[in-house]
Structure 1
Amino acid sequence: MAATLILAQAALAGAGAHAESTPAAGSRAAVAASAASAFASPDAARPGSASERAAAMDWQKALDDLANSGKVTWAAILDPSGAVRVATPGPGLRPGEGPAAVKAYNNPANVFSSGLTLWGVKFFGIKADERSIYLKKGATGAAVVRTAQSAIVAHYDETKQPGPAYDAVEKAADRVIPQGF
């Protein structure tokens, strides 16, 4: 941050030196002044608005709580387009899997006939409605639970029980929905 502040101050000094000699200098000076004022606040240097950062922290807490429950192996929270907002360590969703999971809510019954591929594994639907999609393949499975602004996707392996895994994902969704997430 100190290096960025020094660069902003140098830009201000340079813009001021040329302000009278070039017609575009006024606009450069305005941009440099704007950059300098942005660095006056420590929060301004971080990407996104304060509300976006707070929401990201809430998403991360919800995901951490789910992961720490011991009921799932991996989990991710998807935005409405299916892009990953936050994810636990482990294999990530492959390209196209997040959008496919979100799109499955357009016609949840298709999950019974077509299945859904997540983490490179094709799962078969065992429950699908407007809120929850439960998937299974052998002793492993996954859940996709819709919230107000996203979907929580979680995987359980053969060392976990399906019922508690599905319940943990549902409870994670129940905790964030009242917050508008």
Structure 2
Amino acid sequence: MSWQAYVDTNLVGSGKIARAAILGQQGGVWAVSAGYNLSTEEQSAILKAFSNPEGVQASGLRLAGKKFFTLQVDGEHIYLKQAANGAVIRKTKQAVLVGEYDAPTQAPEATPVVEGLGDYLVGVGY
């Protein structure tokens, strides 16, 4: 399956994720949903967040120009909130999955979608 198909089918296609991207840990966008533009600075901040959990906990992250507050962060997961919306970021061996969800979708609905794909990719070596 192509990286774009993972975004279109597994993430956005779930109906729970509104916008998504797959970033390479070495940089670059592997796939992205239509109209979802993460700036180079935002991509860099996402990748650095895993090695600086205290910093991202204190300052949050920007995704496609919107400021999100950090709810939880560890070495593999970042959970963000912005008003009634949110985002789930999952680090795998080689990639980082970014999935944004919009109300009325809630975190317990969106999180398993991103985490499930992340678990699968880790299982197949990505």
Whether the 8 Å CA contact 1:81–1:99 is kept in 2: the answer is no
**Distance in 2 between the 1:161 and 1:72 partners?**
10
**Distance in 2 between the 1:75 and 1:156 partners?**
9
Q: Equivalent residue for 1:124?
A: 69
| Structure 1 ranges of 4+ moved more than 2 A | 59-62
User: Comparing both chains, which one has the higher relative contact order based on Cα–Cα distances under 8 Å and sequence gaps of 6 or more?
Assistant: 2
Q: Equivalent residue for 1:135?
A: 80
Q: Equivalent residue for 1:160?
A: 105
More helix by percentage: 1
- Structure 1's unaligned 5+ residue stretches are 1-53
Deviations 1:90-121 (A, max 9, x none): 32112311111011011123222111111101
Deviations 1:34-56 (A, max 9, x none): xxxxxxxxxxxxxxxxxxxx7xx
**Distance in 2 between the 1:157 and 1:82 partners?**
26
Residue-pair matches, total: 125
Greater shift in the superposed pair: 167-176 or 105-114: 105-114
Question: What TM-score, normalized by structure 2, do the two folds share?
Answer: 0.91
In the alignment, is residue 178 of structure 1 matched against residue 119 of structure 2? Answer: no
State the structure with more CA Rg: 1
Question: What TM-score, normalized by structure 1, do the two folds share?
Answer: 0.65
More strand by percentage: 2
Q: Helix, strand or coil for the counterpart of 1:97? A: helix
Q: Equivalent residue for 1:62?
A: 6
Q: Equivalent residue for 2:55?
A: 110
**Distance in 2 between the 1:82 and 1:114 partners?**
22
- Structure 2's unaligned 5+ residue stretches are none
